[in-house]
Every structure is written in structure tokens, then in C-alpha cells.
Amino acid sequence: MEVTISGAVLQPGNVSLISSPVTFEMHRLETETALLSSLSVPAGTYTSINVTFFKPEITFLNNTGAAIMMGGTPCANGSVCEFNNMPLGQSSVTYSGAPFPITVAANSPLGLLLDVDVLNSLPANMANMTPVFSMLNLPPKPGTGEFEDMEDIVGKVSAKDAANNQFTLQVTSGVTSLTIKVDSNTTFDFSDLGQPNTFASLAVGQVLEVDIKMMPDRSLLATKVEFEDDNVEEELEGTIVKLNGVTSFDMVLMHESSDVAGIAPGNVVTINLLSGWQPKIDDDGLPVGGLSFSGASDLMVGQSVEIERKSTPTATQPPVIDTNQVKLKKSIFTAKVKSKLSNGTDFIVDNLPGLFTGIAQIEVRTSTQTEFHNTTGVAALVAGDTVSLRGLLFKTLGDPVLVAKKVRKR
């Protein structure tokens, strides 16, 4: 789901927090955060914020048992359908609950998180969107002073400033242009290029995957910079929604490394697997030993994957694109804790999203690489807790296994 925020104004005083509309992909934000703005505001006490939404677009699986009408077009039961320009039941919403009133002191950092409740913003018949959201105060983290981590941001380098150890990244979700600093603690991975893992290997035109943190002075500092693509062949990332035997699958497109004519995020596309296609895993340091992603038999609905485009999209519906490489990426979904395993680090979730047809439960494996939010760890979880999960999803002979990078208790 993509939503554009075209206005965010603090009251009293009509203090605008954004200078131009900002578009977000909401599914990713089940576990992650994205930057709306970073700026100085006048000192004072503010009692509310008014947020204006624009042009929601949603791709969804209709599992209601009946057809749904979307602006005069039917979406059959069991189909994945795209609804562009969804009507807004209310476009401008004023929020005055906690943590308002907020007092902003001069030269004092303050972090605010806007949390959109997508489920309660949409009616069962998908006729429109009436935004429901809340605000949270983000205190600086002890020791570092940083406000928030933002992981796996993909974009293209548009400028490099070696003298000041920073670069500019053009991204597709959130603020479209980010100036990002690096320091001695930043890790680089340019191994796919065969170049040194240093800032010197970073160049304009590269597509990168970057982890950043927002610092008290409003600067963005990279913790990880990983080379993704030299933009010779576009990379497309999406979620598998249907398997077509062993030769192709359908996915909902989530991200393009560069714009491809004829397709856009939210579209369903058919990926044709060329003979000899190569499977890869973007493990990001996660322990995946004993789990397989080596061929078509390891593909499953719900996995997030990235493909290298080897053909122009066909004019059919859905468009067909050839690829010779499929890379397993981190999936995101929300479920409920069913039980905890005796090893103390792993647990089972059920009440899965409807996309996981025929799958009753998934095993979640955690490690020292797993980040926990709103909970101290697996020991603090209890049956019935709702958790948003992000990690590598593997098909196995038993329950599918998610190797978790992030667990966020709801």
C-alpha cells in the first residue's frame, strides 16, 4: 500500500513539517520506519498536528468470499487486485492525543513517530480510506543520542562528497533525497564489484542498500552500505503471491532500482525463470545454516525476492519479465505468537495473513542478530501476543521457517 502525505502542520502557529509531498510504502512500515522530515521548528508548546493524506494505492488479496467492487471494477474472490487512486473518506485528520501537548525547547532535539493504523483505516469492502493514526515521542537512545534506525533503504547514488565523507541517495519511499554521512564505524560491502570495502568504492549511479540512524543534530549516519547494482540491469523486488509450476511465479512489485516502462510498484508481474537461473540469499549476517534456497522447489508464496530484469515487460496482463537470478530478501508480515520452543530462542506463530493459503503456522528463529522492539526478547513474549516480523522465509518439509532480523511486539 502506497500513501502520500501532502501536509503535516503543528498547531498553534501553522508550523509546516514538510515542504513537498512524501510517498510511503506502508507494508514495509509494519516493522520499519521511514523519514518524513528533519528540520528546525520554532520553540513553543504545540497541542495538535494536522496531517493531509493523498492518493492511496493498494494491492490486496480478496479472501472475503465474494467479489469486491473497486470504483466500478470487480475484484473476484481469491484474486490479487490493484486499486489505484482509492477515494479518501477523510483526507485531512487532526490528532491531539498523547504525547500532545508537546513543548519544543530552543536548540533541543525532539523525535516524533507517526504510526498509521492501516487495518482500521480501511473498511472491509475496500471502498475508501479514512486515515487512523497516532503519534509517539521518540526519546534519544542512551549513550548514542540517536533517535531511530532505518534499515535496508534502497536507492541510487546521485552525488558523492568525499571531502565531507557523505553521499546523496535517491530513494522511492519516504523523503526522496537523503544526504548520508559515513564514519569509521560504517561497514561497506562492495564484494559483488570486486572492489575494496571502503568509501572510496562508492560512486555516482550505483544502487545501494543502506542502514542509517538519525542523530540528534538531524544528520543521517550510515551504519552499513552494501552495493546492490550498477544499474546496467534493473533489479525488481516484490512478494511472491502465486507459483506457476517450476518455470515462473507471480509477484506484487514493491520496488524498482530504476523506473521500468510499463510497470510500477503495486503491479502484479509474472517472473519467467530462464534456464539455469541462479538462486541467491541476501542473508545480511543472519544464521541460515541448514536451510535451503537453491531452486524452484524452495520458492513459496509470501517470500520477498529480488530479480534481475532480463527482458522488457510484455504488454499482457500481468506483464511477463524474464530473469536469470532470484535473490531471497527479507519478508514482512504480522501474526500471533502460538507457543515458544524449549530452546528459549525460537517460537511458533499462527493467525497468518491470508496470503499463506494452506499454511497454518510458521516457526520463527531468533539469534544475536535479531532486533527486538517493544519487548526484551522471546522470554517476554506470551501466547496471543501480536508481533510484526521481518526476516528470511524458507520453505521446509515441515513448517516454513522465518530467520528473524526484527521482531516488533504490537
Instruction: Quick: pLDDT tens for 337-353.
Output: 999 999 999 999 999 99
pLDDT band at 70 (very low <50, low <70, confident <90, very high): confident
Strands 68-70 and 386-394, sheet pairing = unpaired
pLDDT attached to residue 172: 64
Out of 41-45, 258-262, 309-313, 355-359, which region has the weakest mean confidence (pLDDT)? 258-262
Distance CA 289, CA 389 (A): 20
User: 123 with 61: CB under 8 angstroms?
Assistant: no
Considering the chain, what percentage of its residues have pLDDT values greater than 90? 68
Domains, the chain: 2-138 (no CATH), 148-229 (2.40.50.320), 235-330 (2.40.50.140), 331-409 (2.40.50.140)
Region 135-162: mean pLDDT is 86
Mean model confidence pLDDT for the chain: 92
| Helix or strand holding residue 121 (H, E) | helix 118-121
Strands 187-189 and 220-229: parallel
What tens digit of pLDDT does each residue of 202-211 get? 999 898 989 9
One DSSP character per residue, 381-404 reads --TT-EEEEEEEEE--SSS-EEEE
- Residue labelled with grid coordinates 525547547: 105
Over residues 4-23, the mean pLDDT reads: 93
Task: Tell me the pLDDT band of 175, cut-offs 50, 70 and 90.
Answer: low
Grid cell 517460537 in the structure block, residue: 347
What confidence tier does 44 reach under pLDDT thresholds 50, 70, 90?
Answer: very high
